Structure 1
Amino acid sequence: MSHSSPHEADEARVSGRSAAAFPVPRLPKVILLATLASYTGINIINLIGQKPSPLVIALSCTTILLVGALQWYHSGRRAPLTPWWVRALSLSVQALVTYLPLLFFGVLWGSMAGFLAGSMLLLVPGRWGWALYGVVGLSMTIPVAAEGLPVVEVFYICQSTLLAGLVLYGVSRLSSLVDEVHAARAETARAAVMLERLRLSRDLHDLLGFSLSAVVLKAELIHRLIPLHSERASHEVEEVLSISRQALSDVRRVARGYREMSLKAESSSARSVLAAAGIDVTLDLAPEAEQVSQETDTVLATVLRESITNLLRHSKASRCTVRASVEGGDGDTVRLVVRNDGVVRDYLDRSGDSGSGIGNLRRRLDAIGGRLVVDEPRGEDGEREFRITASAPRWPAGTRREEDGAKSSAVFPPRQFDPQLP
């Protein structure tokens, strides 16, 4: 017995809800069928009104049903996608059963030419289709003029043929478009599931990577402190509990789509964690760098958190510098630089998962018109360093520019490791 994966189950549930809310629309097909039945019925009534012999009635009805069947096929969604020779063959057959009966029934058969005119629009692409559509309409003037009917009758037959072709073309295209939209609904639902899954994985990586790395770091510190410094070990345990509660709060915010972060609060958290790891920290945050939009503040805080996470997991740094400044002629760009001296070529992350944090950061900055640069410059002492530079507009397009000092803690709630967090 086969079992579906959780991802497939999610897609099936979304597709199922979509299908339940929006059942397959059958009304356009019913309208198309009713239109074809009406036109064929009118032609049958016109022929029977002439009181022909039973044999003629049987042959004419058979031919009319054949024309209707061909038109039903041509009006289908897949007919325009068939090879050109298939379309040419079916149109040739329809033209034969459209024009040949004119020799026996005269103008009474003229209404059937509307089917052929519609088929030309459906199966022949571009200008050629419209040209053949017009040729079919004009061709109906020949049998009418041959019978010596007034000019008004000639114009009426031509106009009714063209009108019937337009009606059949419009109804057929409507039915095909409805089918295409319904077929695309499952793909749309699947894409929505994939995008939401990507958002969750990205946010969980960005938010929990730092917290879990800090928990591991402090747990190792506690393990070393317990035999010698029990009081400090107890204090570190409290911080581990606080970080764990914060991680739980982050998960809940991701689940409900609330992911606001503050660069100032993340800087304080980074100082605490790096100090516990024995790393010298230099923080230099310009006051103007904190006066930015909520969206930019969150993205820069995410960059800082991921940078510290990478430092703890992928390097052996002894010092780290974090600087945030405002640049540009109008001071409309904020620049965050995080650099450390922990580049070790033979260092391997023992977790076995190098993560996708840098790629996530680039996507976040691209979304607000920013830019991320990762390089390894030489420090003042000539040693190679690892540097992450994030540049972003203080007020991205579509956000309201706040006055200096207008940002409050209500907009950017503090994210310190509070033991009272749920």
Structure 2
Amino acid sequence: MSFLPRYGGYLFLLLFVLSVWADGAGVVPTICAAAQAVLLTLAQRRPGSRGAVMAVQPLLTYLPIVLGRAEANVDCLLAATVLWCLPNRLRWVVFLAVAASSGFVHVGWHGVWTDHLYADLNTAAIGLVAYSLLRLPSLVDRLERTQGDLADATLARERLEVARRLRAALGDQLTGVGDLLRRARTELTADPLRARTSVEQATAATRRVIETVRETAAVHRELEIRPADESPVSRLTPRLTLFALITSLFAWTVIKTLESEHDSVATAVGGAVLSSLLVAQVLRPAWAKRLLPVQAAVTLLPLPWLGSAWGVWLMLLAVAVLLSGRGITAVLATVGLVALRAVYSAPDARWGWMILATEAILVVSGLCRFWQLSTQLNASRIALAGTILQVERLRVARDIHDLLGMTLSVLALKGDLIAALVTRDAGRAETEIDEALRIIAGAHTEARALVDDTAARSLRRELEAARQALTDACRTVRVDYDDDLPDRAGAVLAPVVREAVTNVLRHSTPTHVEIACRNRKGFVHLNMRNDGVSTSPRTGGQGLRNMRTRVVDAGGLFETALTGGEFSLTAQVPCP
């Protein structure tokens, strides 16, 4: 956050105290205003002091009145203190009471109603502005600090949705496969043909589950990304800013209209038009430069005829200049407009008008800038959450394809093997059925692990699972690996091993498979080789793309080759 938005509240308090002095209020009101500003800052910086501040502020507010200086209106700082120090259920009621009593305190019971309205609006508007300028930096800081919270909440919601979709996809289907295999185990001896039928039904059901899981992964990857930001701070900050801005512009227009003796209609219309143009400029930043010539024409052309009464709107033009541009040009233009305002004022009041003009520019531009900051920060929060959500969906879709898909593919192949063994070797068929039931239990575990990033994958365990899966499909399997394979490598290479084994089982008829995994000089090297490949693997296949993405994202290298019917895969991952 830049200097002006962060410290704009303190600058506003300083300028307010200077304006009290410049209006000729006297020493005591100026000292009381300065003390109020210090105490209000203390209440903002040290929450534990708010009770004491709230007790002292009324004394400082009404002391000048007791001493006969009723024209010095410093009630606005009491109104701001009320918003800072009182609990939510009381603050706005007391704030309105302080604002409503301001007219009776400074004008008297028998004063003109317009003077009462002027004092009330002045107290309410300046109090709200002071509170907003002091409050908004902390809200913007909270928005920045909670970006990670929004991302975490979005991730948690996404994982719950993934878990729901996987339960819907798998549901009772895997349980039904397990029931069929258990029935086949009980029928092995008494009725082998019926047992084989049960196994074939279980295998067909498994393949249907595989298709369902793949469709789920594809649908999940293509879902529209709509992260929701439900943080109260994200809603409060821009709303409070916009409310304070519109209230300030409305109060300023009414006050200047009441002050104008001869051109009240022109002043009111000018204030309404220029305020509307400024709000449009804030809400639609792309319009800022296009609206600036209109604002300049509306402000400057009537100035020679309407004079001082119209000169107050030079400040809104200065704010529009600051919103439309940056750098020295905008600053010089703003200084020029403040000087022009001083020209269209009484000679003995020019310094006072320059202080008030600077104060007005600071207030309005500060609120405009806060609105822009809060909306930009909310947009960046949503964008960050959307990016994390997209990455998570791609990860889950990839893991469904690589991990759960491989387990289910092995289960289907295991079903084919069991069906062939039922009538030839009942003992081995029973062993394979038990192994298939363990695979089903593992599939449920993997489905849960897909939405749990704390579930670390062991590369050594994956290599042993690959040895077991390949042993049933080919004549010679050699798996060799080091004992000191780091866990960081497992997070990347374990899914690669699993997907590679799935490809071997699905796209080749191997008789010989070799897998080697070595930890050498800060890198883990994975090499796989198998024969029985009749055609080149699809270089654009999802499995190979997923493997390459995993390795490359980890800063590694990934290569494949086909030579004389033998397919080889090499992956290298850094592990410092």
* Counterpart position of 1:89: 294
User: How do 1:216-365 residues align onto structure 2 when only pairs under 5 Å count?
Assistant: 216-288=412-484, 290=485, 292=486, 294-327=487-520, 331-345=521-535, 356-365=542-551
* Counterpart position of 1:207: 403
* Counterpart position of 1:370: 556
Q: Which among 165, 168, 171 is matched to residue 364 of structure 2?
A: 168
Deviation at 1:11, TM superposition (A): 7.0
State the TM-score, normalizing by the size of structure 1.
Answer: 0.73
Question: Is the 8 Å Cα contact of residues 315 and 347 (structure 1) preserved in structure 2?
Answer: no
Give the SS at the match of 1:18: coil
Spell out structure 1 runs of 4+ moving beyond 6 A.
5-8, 10-13
Question: Is the 8 Å Cα contact of residues 316 and 342 (structure 1) preserved in structure 2?
Answer: yes
Cα 1:31/1:7, change in 2 over 3 Å:
farther
* Distance in 2 (alpha carbons) for counterparts of 1:345 and 1:18: 53
* Distance in 1 (alpha carbons) for counterparts of 2:330 and 2:233: 38
Give the SS at the match of 1:345: coil
* Distance in 2 (alpha carbons) for counterparts of 1:267 and 1:274: 11
Give the SS at the match of 1:322: strand
- Determine if the alignment matches structure 1 residue 32 to structure 2 residue 233: no
Q: Which amino acid aligns with 1:299?
A: V
* Distance in 2 (alpha carbons) for counterparts of 1:365 and 1:179: 38
Question: Is the 8 Å Cα contact of residues 134 and 162 (structure 1) preserved in structure 2?
Answer: no
Q: Which amino acid aligns with 2:542?
A: S
Deviation at 1:191, TM superposition (A): 4.7
Give the SS at the match of 1:255: coil
* Distance in 2 (alpha carbons) for counterparts of 1:190 and 1:45: 50
Q: Which among 387, 390, 394 is matched to residue 571 of structure 2?
A: 390
Deviation at 1:321, TM superposition (A): 0.9
- Determine if the alignment matches structure 1 residue 178 to structure 2 residue 383: no
Deviation at 1:120, TM superposition (A): 0.9
Deviation at 1:163, TM superposition (A): 3.6
Q: Which amino acid aligns with 2:409?
A: S
Cα 1:111/1:82, change in 2 over 3 Å:
closer
Question: Is the 8 Å Cα contact of residues 288 and 320 (structure 2) preserved in structure 1?
Answer: no
Deviation at 1:95, TM superposition (A): 3.0
State the TM-score, normalizing by the size of structure 2.
Answer: 0.55
Q: Which among 118, 124, 129 is matched to residue 319 of structure 2?
A: 118
- Determine if the alignment matches structure 1 residue 131 to structure 2 residue 338: no
Identity of aligned residues (%): 27
Deviation at 1:242, TM superposition (A): 1.4
Give the SS at the match of 2:410: helix
Deviation at 1:58, TM superposition (A): 3.2
* Counterpart position of 1:77: 283
Deviation at 1:355, TM superposition (A): 5.6
Give the SS at the match of 2:534: coil
Measured against aligned partners, the alpha-carbon deviations of 1:34-63 in whole angstroms (never above 9, x if no partner) come to 221343344234324xxx4xxx33333333
Q: Which among 241, 255, 268 is matched to residue 61 of structure 1?
A: 268
Q: Which amino acid aligns with 1:64?
A: G
Measured against aligned partners, the alpha-carbon deviations of 1:41-98 in whole angstroms (never above 9, x if no partner) come to 44234324xxx4xxx3333333333333333333x321x312854442343223334x
Give the SS at the match of 1:369: coil
* Distance in 2 (alpha carbons) for counterparts of 1:22 and 1:65: 29
User: How do 1:10-29 residues align onto structure 2 when only pairs under 5 Å count?
Assistant: 15=228, 18=230, 23=235, 25-29=238-242
Q: Which amino acid aligns with 1:364?
A: R
Q: Which amino acid aligns with 2:422?
A: I
* Distance in 1 (alpha carbons) for counterparts of 2:551 and 2:252: 60
* Distance in 1 (alpha carbons) for counterparts of 2:508 and 2:254: 82
Measured against aligned partners, the alpha-carbon deviations of 1:115-154 in whole angstroms (never above 9, x if no partner) come to 111011112455443332222123234334xx6x25xx44
* Distance in 2 (alpha carbons) for counterparts of 1:315 and 1:361: 18
* Distance in 2 (alpha carbons) for counterparts of 1:314 and 1:91: 73
* Distance in 2 (alpha carbons) for counterparts of 1:169 and 1:20: 25
Count of residue pairs the alignment pairs up: 356
Question: Is the 8 Å Cα contact of residues 70 and 94 (structure 1) preserved in structure 2?
Answer: no
Cα 1:347/1:122, change in 2 over 3 Å:
closer
Give the SS at the match of 1:26: helix
Deviation at 1:276, TM superposition (A): 0.7
Measured against aligned partners, the alpha-carbon deviations of 1:171-212 in whole angstroms (never above 9, x if no partner) come to 112123334445666665555544433232222222212212
Give the SS at the match of 2:266: helix
Structure showing the higher helix proportion among its residues: 2
Q: Which runs of 5+ in 2 are unaligned?
A: 1-215
Cα 1:72/1:341, change in 2 over 3 Å:
same
Deviation at 1:384, TM superposition (A): 4.4
* Distance in 2 (alpha carbons) for counterparts of 1:142 and 1:90: 20
